[in-house]
Structure 1
Amino acid sequence: MKKRDFLKSTAALGLTAMLPSSVWALSKNGRLRTAHIGVGNMGGNDLAAISSHELVDVVALCDVDSKALQTAKELHPKAATYKDYRVMLKEMKNDIDAVIVSTPDHTHAPASMMAMDLGKPVYCQKPLTHHVAEARAMRKMAKEKNLVTQMGIQVHSFYDYKLATLLIQSGIIGKVHTVRAWSPKNWGFNGPEPKGSDPVPANLDWNLWLGTSAERPYKEGYYHPANWRKLLDYGCGTLGDMGVHIFDTPYNALQLDVPMTIKNKCRKPTGFGFPENNTVTYTFPGTKYTGDTLKWVWYDGPGAPKKHKDLKLPNNEELPGQGAMFIGEKGRLLLPHFMQLPRHIVDGEYKELDLSIIKDQEAIGEPVRDYGPEGNKHYHQFVDACLGKDECSAPFDYSARLTETILLGVIAGRFPNKTLHWDTNTAQFSEPEANKFLDAPYRDF
């Protein structure tokens, strides 16, 4: 089925009668029955965090890797197991209340859209989708079906990030005109596409791992279980991995929408892997927290970020390994990634954080430096929202726009050093050659 046809058919089902989100998810006994698509690596972490909620019953597990599935089954022996999420959702649609999607990026939208089609709340790992068209479709369906949704950006619920948001919105550095963000991680690959094929491991269903993506021979060490993030067909590079986390707080604090222009300074495209080093410059329309426009520069890969006066720290200190710098009319705010307090800089000197400028003092919360309880907050918020006890802070209405922004930068990597112009109303670039990367056909599998 072509992706466009898939998205149209599932979106049409969103016009059914709407009920409050909690009604869709609430079990008769006041507990939440969850189904997990992808239970290895990050999926295993998601499973542990969701199941740590006292009102969760894990009833279904799905993974294309039988070893990962067996490990999860040992932890949840009562759960039914599947290797094909389509079979699981079809057979257990009346026995599950919410779905957690923790697969490689290219399967996020197909699995999430099918679950939402059944009226199920969805927690989906970041980035929300692999293509811009999918992000818009998921946002549309979640809204039309009135579903509880959450994207897996756990730090969104951490103290330091919420504090930075409140400080910026309280005017600690005035209106912000520039954000610079960085990660030296290298989810890029500058080498050639591998030739030939290797035997598929006995524990892996390669056809199901590929899913809707184009058919390709298996090569050991290139795809499953880890390196898929580096490759165009499956991941979104460093920008799609760490960028979502590090973009999130400035994007949320400044109440940004999608950008007007995007330019990626990187190597020429190879058609297989993402560039190892990217410098992506965005221009956003202004908000009440910014100037008339906002400039955003993202650096990734070995050696990132490049030196710039905006990033110079007092006492010639080194920058944190990853983070973001807000540059405003009255100073700068440094937000390290992660679990470190933001730092206020004025005239080249650190200033003590003045929390009294925050009007809603109850919103500040208490600083926590234990990743365990902090990490579970975002997941538990989703569970509680499904049970009608809370609201999600990163629903698809928000996270789809954040993901779209990220993906526009990824697409710009196909056109090095060329400024692309984005029209949010038509969801098209002014440069027609770039529009073919907004979507891709789905393979029948």
Structure 2
Amino acid sequence: MKRRDFLKGAAAFGSITLLPSSVWALAKNGKLRTAHIGVGGMGNSDLGSIASHSQVEVTALCDVDSVRLAAAKKLHPNAKTFSDYRVLFDKMRDAIDAVIVSTPDHTHAPASMLAMQMGKPVYCQKPLTHHVSEARAMRKYAEDNKLITQMGIQCHSSDMYLKAALLIKSGIIGKVNTVRAWSPKNWGYDGPAPTGSDPVPSTLDWNLWLGTSPERPYKDKIYHPGNWRKLLDYGCGTLGDMGVHIFDTPYTALELDVPRTIKTKCRKPTGFGHPEHNVVEYEFPGTKYTTESLKWVWYDGPGAPKKHKDLELPNNEKLPEQGAMFIGEKGNLLLPHWDYPKLIVNGKYEPIDFPDIPKADHYHQFVDACLGKDECSAPFTYAARLTESILLGVIANRFPNQILHWDIASAKFVEPEANQLLDFKYRKF
């Protein structure tokens, strides 16, 4: 089944009249009734953070792993539980006001789109989607129907990142010509695909875990619960995981759109796992905060980044484990992951007069937006463009040492072989 056919599938839920999303919450005594799809790992964190808002009532929980579902149920005993999000939507559509999607990447779009097609606000974990076509479809649907949406990229609302963005916009280092970003995490796998099969645990619905992805035998410790990010069919590698966070502030600060060209240095594709080491080079069209064009280089895998003069720090200091460096006409700005930026001019640190920015809670911002009291800072309008840029780099990993040319208007590569990876057939499950 093609993705576009699946995205039309909300007709099965019947037709509805879409209202501004805040109406749903305000009509229910000011309580936002939430449904949570995926409640283990990051889903458990999302559940706790959303539920910490005083005006949230956790109404439905969904997970394909009964152990994780039971643990969440203990925390929210009044919530209804489900293993299949389609059943949840069918039975609870009038009893929920907003949906939080915290599943592996390959299920983000299928679950989120069905929720939006019921007129529900959606908070979806990053990266927004597994495929470029899904990101474009979700953005269009959310915009066309004026839905409240937020991607789960918590650092986007952090004061340290907001301050870094304002500093760049203020011209503290002049126009930026290059960004170098890195993470030594290894959400890649260079080995062969596993052979054979293992018994599916009685606590796991393997068919529902696979969802729309291709059917394959279960292998213990390969997919669920922890290694799916490494694999092509389910995750987006280190670039799709940490890259979304680390790209976010430079992407916002420089007001970038999607890149013109992408080139990756990595091992040959295996058809199963993402590469363990990548160097991805993007060229973005220039903006008022950059030179005529912007060079963006991403490094990931153990030992990343490679040494480069742009990354040398004063006093021979070591680089932070993860982060980004803006290289500008008048100096550099170092932005460690989850820390405040540092200004470097002529090889020395310079003091920064930080702008005063109030701290914000990314999760509560979404809840308040649903309640009509705030606006989301990372709606799908923004999240889809950032995700598209990330996913183009993920696709380039399948064509090492080849420059791919991206046409923004048509959402196609000039290279036809790469276009086959923009979409895929959804499995019926």
Which TM-score band applies after superposition, normalised by the shorter structure? over 0.9
Aligned to 2:6: 6
Give 1:365's match in structure 2, choosing from 325, 336, 358: 358
Amino acid at match of 2:300: D
Question: Residue by residue, what CA displacement relative to the aligned partner does 1:307-345 show, whole Å, maximum 9, x if unpaired?
Answer: 00000000000000000000010100000011x210000
- Are 1:199 and 2:183 an aligned pair? no
Task: Work out whether residues 19 and 119 of structure 2, in 8 Å CA contact, stay in contact via their aligned partners in 1.
Answer: no
Q: Structure 1 CA distance, aligned partners of 2:264 and 2:16?
A: 41
Task: Work out whether residues 39 and 47 of structure 1, in 8 Å CA contact, stay in contact via their aligned partners in 2.
Answer: yes
TM-score, length-scaled by structure 1: 0.94
**Where does 1:34-433 land on structure 2 (aligned, <5 Å)?**
34-338=34-338, 340-355=339-354, 361=356, 364-365=357-358, 377-433=361-417
Q: Structure 2 CA distance, aligned partners of 1:67 and 1:98?
A: 24
Instruction: Give 1:21 deviation, angstroms.
Output: 3.0
Identity %: 73
Amino acid at match of 2:256: L
Task: Work out whether residues 21 and 119 of structure 2, in 8 Å CA contact, stay in contact via their aligned partners in 1.
Answer: no
Q: Structure 1 CA distance, aligned partners of 2:191 and 2:9?
A: 39
Q: Structure 1 CA distance, aligned partners of 2:233 and 2:213?
A: 7
Q: Structure 2 CA distance, aligned partners of 1:82 and 1:21?
A: 24
Question: Residue by residue, what CA displacement relative to the aligned partner does 1:193-251 show, whole Å, maximum 9, x if unpaired?
Answer: 00000000110000000000000000001000000000000000000000000000000
Question: Residue by residue, what CA displacement relative to the aligned partner does 1:131-176 show, whole Å, maximum 9, x if unpaired?
Answer: 0000000000100111100000001111110110110011100111
Instruction: Give 1:17 deviation, angstroms.
Output: 5.7
Instruction: Give 1:24 deviation, angstroms.
Output: 4.0
Task: Work out whether residues 422 and 429 of structure 1, in 8 Å CA contact, stay in contact via their aligned partners in 2.
Answer: yes
Amino acid at match of 2:353: D
Amino acid at match of 1:228: W
Amino acid at match of 2:417: E
Q: Structure 1 CA distance, aligned partners of 2:401 and 2:215?
A: 31
Task: Work out whether residues 260 and 285 of structure 1, in 8 Å CA contact, stay in contact via their aligned partners in 2.
Answer: yes
Q: Structure 1 CA distance, aligned partners of 2:132 and 2:139?
A: 11
> What 5-or-longer segments of structure 1 have no aligned partner?
367-373
Q: Structure 1 CA distance, aligned partners of 2:370 and 2:251?
A: 25
Q: Structure 2 CA distance, aligned partners of 1:437 and 1:26?
A: 42
Instruction: Give 1:18 deviation, angstroms.
Output: 5.2
Task: Work out whether residues 178 and 326 of structure 1, in 8 Å CA contact, stay in contact via their aligned partners in 2.
Answer: yes
Q: Structure 2 CA distance, aligned partners of 1:7 and 1:415?
A: 29
Q: Structure 2 CA distance, aligned partners of 1:203 and 1:65?
A: 6
Aligned length: 429
Task: Work out whether residues 264 and 396 of structure 2, in 8 Å CA contact, stay in contact via their aligned partners in 1.
Answer: yes
**Alpha-carbon distance change, 72 to 17 in structure 1, aligned in 2, over 3 angstroms:** closer
Instruction: Give 1:28 deviation, angstroms.
Output: 2.1
Task: Work out whether residues 181 and 298 of structure 1, in 8 Å CA contact, stay in contact via their aligned partners in 2.
Answer: yes
Amino acid at match of 2:301: G
Amino acid at match of 1:365: P
**Root-mean-square deviation over aligned CA pairs:** 1.7
Task: Work out whether residues 139 and 396 of structure 1, in 8 Å CA contact, stay in contact via their aligned partners in 2.
Answer: yes
Q: Structure 2 CA distance, aligned partners of 1:170 and 1:234?
A: 40
Instruction: Give 1:26 deviation, angstroms.
Output: 3.2
Q: Structure 1 CA distance, aligned partners of 2:8 and 2:419?
A: 18
Aligned to 1:441: 425
Q: Structure 2 CA distance, aligned partners of 1:209 and 1:5?
A: 20
Which SS does the other structure have where 1:438 is aligned?
coil
Q: Structure 2 CA distance, aligned partners of 1:34 and 1:17?
A: 20
